[in-house]
Amino acid sequence: MLLDAIRNQMDALSKSERKVAMAVLDNPQLTISENITALARTAQVSEPTVVRFCRAVGCDGWHEFKLKLAQGLALAPSGRDETPLQDDLAEDLVSKICGRSVNTLLDLRNTLDPQAVQRALDILAAAAKIEFYGQGSSGLVAADAQHKFFRSGVPTVAYSDPHIHAISAALLEAGDAVVAISQRGGSTALLHSVQLARRAGADVIVIAPSGTPLAALATVLLPVDLPVDTDPYRPITARLAHLVVIDILAVGLALRRGPDFRRRMEAAQKALQRIDIQFDSYTEAPEPP
């Protein structure tokens, strides 16, 4: 949702752009109904500053900003920020956490740009090698991505150690691809590795909040704009959104490979099933004498 993206990017905005951001966050409904001159007057900035703010949060200009803001407000369900409480029963936790996860995926479905996904698939389909970089919980997403992609027929690897992905990034070549994953988009180590990859000629697909330093380095940005929450009792929905984006890319790449690739995938799946069957034979209880 656009309001979440604005909150996430507040520290990266200039002083004047932050004034616009605060005016929008204070009254988003009024922002939709007024024109650019009125918003500039409310924020006590110039109209060009409002336009710069719109571009800083990932929009082409004022009109696209208003459209995305209106769409986000229209799609925002009520009760989306229900916080788990100390005395919540199990049924409360099921309702709140599942509801928050569902809302996250609805936001993702309605904000993810299909054209950006298509450009990312074009890069992955042409890549000689695909590397996934992430740190912390994003490192877990990178490992999941490698598990899904290694069956694509393209050499893939996942790195969560900043020293290792820096070395690997420096050794990339034109025609290679990196998928960089981050919940905040500001990790110094990850930024360094992505810069090395770009200098080496590799394309970089970024899954991170828009308007962040990492997003600025992307060949293709797939933005996941969610509020940053440090409350340990709140579910980490950004990771769920990242996993779904990875699934979209993995399935899209598999479909691009055509029917021959599908047959190879089915053969690999049958091989796994045969292993399971053989293992089951060892665990069966022996027949009584």
pLDDT at 156: 95
pLDDT at 72: 73
CATH code 3.40.50.10490 region(s) in the chain: 111-262
Q: Give 2-75's CATH code, choosing from 1.10.357.10, 1.20.120.350, 1.10.760.10, 1.10.10.10.
A: 1.10.10.10
176 in helix, strand or coil? coil
Report d(CA 134, CA 144) in Å as an integer.
11
Asked whether the beta carbons of 107 and 71 are under 8 A apart, the reply is no
Whole-angstrom distance, CA of residue 125 vs CA of residue 257: 8
Per residue in 105-149, pLDDT (tens digit) is 887 887 788 999 999 999 999 999 999 999 988 999 999 999 989
pLDDT digits (tens, 9 = 90+) for 176-193: 999 999 988 889 999 999
Q: What is the pLDDT of residue 151?
A: 77
Tell me the pLDDT band of 46, cut-offs 50, 70 and 90.
Answer: very high
CATH superfamily entry for domain 111-262? Glucose-6-phosphate isomerase like protein; domain 1 (3.40.50.10490)
How far, in Å, CA of 116 to CA of 205, rounded?
Answer: 10
Any idea which residue has 């409480």 for tokens?
A: 85
Distance CA 222, CA 228 (A): 17
DSSP character for 129? -
pLDDT band at 226 (very low <50, low <70, confident <90, very high): confident
Which residues, in sequence order, are bridge partners of residue 179?
132, 205
pTM over 0.85: no
Distance in angstroms (rounded) separating the CA atoms of residues 264 and 230: 43
Find all residues with CB under 8 Å of 14, minimum gap 6, and list them. Answer: 52
Residue 19's contacts (CB-CB under 8 Å, 6 or more residues apart) are 43, 44, 45, 49
Rounded Cα gap, residues 179 and 69, in angstroms: 28
Residues of the chain with CATH 1.10.10.10: 2-75
When pLDDT is averaged across residues 13-42 and rounded to a whole number, the result is 92
